[in-house]
Amino acid sequence: MRNGVIISDEPRINDEIRVSQVRLIGPNGEQVGVIATSVALNLAKEANLDLVEVAPNAKPPVAKLIDYGKFKYNEKIKAREARRNQSTAEIKEIRFRLKIDEHDFDVKKGHVVRFLTGGDKVKVTIMLRGREQSRPIGGVELLQRLADEVGEYGTIESAPKQEGRNIIMTLAPKGKKVHTQSEQRRRGDQSRAERQARQAARLAAKQEAKAQAAAEVQASVKQTSATKNTTKEGSNAEDEE
């Protein structure tokens, strides 16, 4: 809001464009040139399109002939696809001691692999005690060893660095989550298509059964009518005798 007036992010279109002239761009990107806004509006109406102001601060403003409704729909689809493809990664944290035994190292490494394959970043912290703070190289080597052993699942995003009593490194996944989401969407689309096909087949079968039943009823009615006519003709013949 500016000076009590609501400022819209939407561009001005058609009669909302108040300037006397615009630099017009055609529907296929062709440069028409500077023309009167009234003429541009007439061109838009004749082409069944909208006149959309795409560069309001230019001198004169730039306007384009487009189908604005279709344009907004396509923008909405693109935004939705972009949100689908976003990887909303969390940051997990694993803490090590410098003097960690092999079993505990393997256990914690397993947690790191699980987080990375789940699409999350991992902040790995080496906690130094006492004299260990004066010899941080051991912590750096431990973090590098971890990075090497989980290299199939993640890469170093932030190299090991000392922060106070701790040495910290950040690992990032190798796009696993995005691929997993894409595969899940593909499977979902396939499952939906199969479900729709089954529903269509069931509907077709029901329609065929109804048609067959109607045909049988119609045939039965015809047969009954024919039988009645035959009986009536026989009765008439007896009366004549």
Q: Does domain 91-173 have CATH number 3.30.110.10?
A: yes
Q: Taking residues 8-25, report their average pLDDT.
A: 87
What is the reported pLDDT for 1?
A: 43
Intervals of CATH 3.30.110.10 along the chain: 91-173
What is the reported pLDDT for 145?
A: 92
Intervals of CATH 3.10.20.80 along the chain: 14-85
Count of residues making up the chain: 241
What is the reported pLDDT for 217?
A: 63
- Which residue has 């561009």 as its token pair? 11
Taking 80 as the threshold, does the pLDDT of residue 88 lie above it?
A: no
Candidates 3.90.226.10, 3.40.718.10, 3.40.630.40, 3.10.20.80; correct CATH number of 14-85? 3.10.20.80
Taking 50 as the threshold, does the pLDDT of residue 4 lie above it?
A: no
Taking 80 as the threshold, does the pLDDT of residue 91 lie above it?
A: yes
In angstroms, the CA 146 to CA 45 distance is 66
Contacts of 27 (CB under 8 A, 6+ apart): 47, 49, 64, 65, 66
State the amino acid at position 15 in one-letter form: D
pLDDT per residue as tens digits for the range 111-163: 999 999 988 899 999 888 877 776 777 888 899 999 999 999 999 998 988 88
In angstroms, the CA 43 to CA 5 distance is 31
pTM as predicted = 0.39
